[in-house]
Amino acid sequence: MVAKVELIIQGVEDPDEVPGIEAISDHARFRCASDLATLERALPGAEVMLGWNFRAADLETAWPHADGLRWIHWCGAGVDALLFPALVGSQVTVTNARTLFDQPMAEYTLGLILAMAKGLPRTLDAQRERRWDYRLEERIEGARVLVVGAGSIGRAIARLLRAAGMRAQVMGRSARSGDPEFDRILGVHDLDRHLGEADYVVLVTPLTDATRGLFSAGRFHAMKRSARFINLGRGALVDEDALLTALRQGTIAGAASDVFQSEPLPADHPLWDAPGFIASPHISGDVLDYRTLMAEQFMSNFQAWCEGRPLANVVDKALGFVTG
């Protein structure tokens, strides 16, 4: 009889919190770790970890207890909370939830662009005040969009925005031509030059040492005064003080963020009241059935693991994201 895999489910108190996980119970023995203390107790002898709470950063502290870990599946597209130096330098394989959030985040981006172009926040404010606020609004057809981040999420966003009639370009780590879908991928070294051409800038690049603080005051000044900025990547990609100043001074026409340096965003944070700003609570990829989809994706990979087949969505730990 083949021994069961010792599997840690991080971020839960009971395996039943992961939809359908009982389907692999013949091949795995579950250990739940809902906090640092239980994670430290669960790690010795464990071979696989399912990172269910992909915002938690307890593993670095608990790492000395990981004596047999070989694979971590992280249920998020971004793995910045996971890639501390000891893990990066280890032989542990990391996979993530690449592609799972692509379409929901693309739809969310389109929704934000429509909200800003059509003045929906202003409309809702007027409705609450029972005030008839007639005005002319913008069209999105033909508007230029720069999507900063050429991974599967960025590509899905650009694809949907193009279908809506917008002119979307994708920017990655380096410029390249001959892309089968977008022909030319722009390079981030030309970011400042292309910022001035865009009506909307959508930021979805992974958070790495190279992208931390990517959008500072200078980047907002490089944008058109009529342009809007959307951040669905990570809060630390953006200098939030610079964003606040840009909104208050009219350097850009508006912005939206689903991610912040401190989450939840503190109630007294000035961005809540910034002119032309839309704040949302890190929900752009979270649709009604996303937990089921995360579980199914992991269990498919777990079956591959048990059968000795290659895993899907293997993260390049030095770069911080899945390549290829």
Contacts of 26-31 with CB under 8 Å at 24 or more apart are 27/2, 27/302, 27/306, 28/4, 28/302, 29/4, 29/5, 31/6, 31/7
Q: From residue 220, how far is each of 60, 250, 270 by CA, in Å?
A: 34, 10, 18
Which entry of 13, 22, 141, 263 is annotated as an active-site residue?
263
CA distance 313 to 291: 18
Per the annotation, the verdict on 212 as an active-site residue is no
Q: Which two tokens stand for residue 200?
A: 């909307």
Which of 234, 240, 307, 309 is the catalytic position? 234
- Rounded to 10 deg, the angle between the 120-128 and 102-117 helix axes is 60
Q: Prior bond to 275 cis, omega within 30?
A: no
For 219-244, the three-class secondary structure string (H helix, E strand, C coil) is HHHHCCCCCEEEECCCHHHECHHHHH
Task: Compute φ and ψ for 223, nearest 5 degrees.
Answer: -80, 160
β-pair type (176-179, 183-187): antiparallel
Tell me the C-alpha distance between 116 and 196, whole Å: 19
Determine how many CB atoms are found less than 10 A away from the CB of residue 36: 14
Catalytic, 234? Answer yes
Q: Which of 282, 291, 296, 309 is catalytic?
A: 282
Helix (H) or strand (E) run with residue 210 in it? none
Instruction: Extract the tokens encoding 54.
Output: 């992909």
- Rounded to whole angstroms, the Cα distance separating 62 from 66 reads 7
Say how far apart CA 198 and CA 196 lie, in whole Å.
6
| Inter-residue contact 52 to 31 (CB < 8 Å) | no
Catalytically active residues are 234, 263, 282
